[in-house]
Amino acid sequence: MKYMFSYDIISELAKRTKEYRLAYPLTQQELADRAGISLRSIQKFEKGLDVQLDIFIKIIMALDLADNFDALLPDMSNRPSAYLAKQKGTVRKRVRKKKVQPGNRTFKWGDE
């Protein structure tokens, strides 16, 4: 998935979500009722079209897949390095761009 475009990812998510719906087994209307969204939103999403994030989350929750979000975006505070940073009191709150010194600039092709 590293080299996919966003529409490819949306299409893949739609395909997998539809497979879960069919395995559940639920009709599109039953899923729409369960998620509290319109049938048209389900149809649109399953065609691979872009939908709002909250609609996607409602669909995932209606299919009882919300527990899988930890695999998508793991909690950064559970890493050992985060634990050590908390002990030192160096929890990162923002990121600044590194300043490039004129003499320390590395050559890149096309910079001639």
Tens digit of pLDDT for each residue in 25-48? 999 999 999 999 999 999 999 999
Residue that wins the pLDDT comparison between 107 and 99: 99
Q: How would residue 98 be classed by pLDDT, with cut points 50, 70 and 90? A: confident
63: its two tokens: 């299919």
Q: Is the pLDDT of residue 89 over 80?
A: no
Q: How would residue 84 be classed by pLDDT, with cut points 50, 70 and 90? A: low
Please measure the distance between the N-terminal and C-terminal CA atoms of the chain and give it in whole angstroms.
35
Residues making up the chain, counted from first to last: 112
Predicted confidence at residue 86, as pLDDT, reads: 67
Q: Read off the pTM.
A: 0.68
For residue 45, the tally of other CB atoms under 10 A from its CB is 23
